[in-house]
Structure 1
Amino acid sequence: MPHLEDFYANKLRGSLGLTDAESVLDLRGTAWTKAEASLNDMLERSRFAKGKTVAVRLEPPPEGGGETLFQPVGRLLLDAKRRGWVDRLQTLPAEDGLGFYIALAGKPDKGA
């Protein structure tokens, strides 16, 4: 069986990360209300623009455990996926930290 470099093996596995995204939304150190507003703004704008890929970075849990934005952000993005605003939603690979890689659907073609 041939050996693939990690970069290409990750592409086959679907672990797209920060370097693959067209832009990065860094929500590290952000309160939920501001993070929610930023995400909703990004999703709303994407409905009227060309689709693109975005890496959403989140703060890791504090030492000893605690809450993060991972779950509420994940729910919001999953809801956007159900609405058809997000084509692809996955977690970032471990080496990129906590967050999500998303492909925004963008404005639908008029011919479709």
Structure 2
Amino acid sequence: MEDDTLNLNNLIDGSGYADYELDLTGLDLRHALESIRQMIERQRRRREVRSVLIRLDPPVPGQGETLFRPVGKHLVELLKKEMISRVKPYADKECSGFVIHLPAGKEENISDDDTDS
């Protein structure tokens, strides 16, 4: 008999491996979204694909909603606009967040100097 239970382990990234990390812990939503916007803007000038671990504050009982849901909705919108190529929730004992993949920049005048910044 087959085990028909739903395995959600493949939907959540537990490794936390990424090329870079964007730590948004301690920020309010406005500042968190601005940090993501700046990261996306910088990526437009880079030639390589990058993965980024976005760290958010973990949920705390009694403190209301975390940034996980609104940031996640924002990342889905960026995915639809093809500004990011992949997004996967991340969770460990210390924080929650997302692992995203940023596509290589599409600007025509990408210079080698810009790729180092």
TM-score by length of 1: 0.75
| 2:83 alignment counterpart | 85
Q: CA RMSD in A?
A: 2.3
Say which one has the larger Rg: 2
Give, in angstroms, the shift of residue 17 of structure 1: 3.5
Q: Which residue in the other structure is 1:36 paired with?
A: 33
> Could you tell me which of 21, 43, 56 is aligned with 1:46?
43
Q: Which has the higher helix share?
A: 1
1:57 to 36, 55, 58: 55
Q: Percent identity?
A: 33
What pairs with 1:1-112 in structure 2 (closer than 5 Å)? Answer: 13=10, 15=13, 17-18=15-16, 20-49=17-46, 50-95=48-93, 97-108=95-106
* Partners of 1:23 and 1:16 in 2: CA distance: 16
What is the count of residue pairs matched by the alignment? 98
Q: Which runs of at least 4 in structure 1 moved beyond 3 Å after TM superposition?
A: 93-96
Unaligned runs of 5+ in 2: 1-8, 109-117
